[in-house]
Amino acid sequence: MNPGATAPAPPDSREALLARAQQLAGHTLAEVARQLGWRVPADTRREKGWIGQLLEAALGATAGGAAEPDFPHLGVELKTLPVDARGRPRESTWVCTVPLRAGSLDWHDSWVRRKLRCVLWFPIESGADLRLAERRLGMPLLWQPSAEEEALLRRDWEELMDMICRGGLEQITARHGEALQIRPKGADSRALTDTVSGDGEAVRTLPRGFYLRSSFTRAIIERHYLVPKETM
Partner DNA sequence: AGCTGATCATAT
Partner DNA sequence: ATATGATCAGCT
Residues that bind DNA (CB under 7 A): 43-49, 51-53, 55-56, 64-67, 70, 77-80, 82, 91-94, 96-97, 124, 126, 128, 173-175, 181, 183-194, 206-207, 209, 213-215
80 φ, ψ (degrees, to nearest 5): -80, 150
Compute the least distance from the CB of residue 78 to DNA, in Å.
6
Q: Tell me how far apart the alpha carbons of residues 137 and 145 are, in angstroms, rounded to a whole number.
A: 23
Compute the least distance from the CB of residue 213 to DNA, in Å.
6
Compute the least distance from the CB of residue 209 to DNA, in Å.
6
When the beta carbons of 137 and 147 are compared against DNA, the nearer one is: 137
Compute the least distance from the CB of residue 228 to DNA, in Å.
19
When the beta carbons of 71 and 154 are compared against DNA, the nearer one is: 71
Q: Which helix (H) or strand (E) holds 16?
A: helix 14-24
When the beta carbons of 101 and 108 are compared against DNA, the nearer one is: 101
Q: Tell me how far apart the alpha carbons of residues 99 and 186 are, in angstroms, rounded to a whole number.
A: 14
When the beta carbons of 80 and 110 are compared against DNA, the nearer one is: 80
Q: Tell me how far apart the alpha carbons of residues 121 and 114 are, in angstroms, rounded to a whole number.
A: 16
Compute the least distance from the CB of residue 56 to DNA, in Å.
6
Q: Are strands 77-83 and 208-212 parallel, antiparallel or unpaired?
A: unpaired
E-assigned strands of 151-201?
180-184, 193-196
Number of other residues whose CB lies within 10 A of the CB of residue 31: 14
When the beta carbons of 118 and 147 are compared against DNA, the nearer one is: 118
Q: Residue type at 219?
A: A
Q: What is the 3-state secondary structure (H, E, C) of 72-92?
A: CCCCEEEEEEEECCCCCECCC
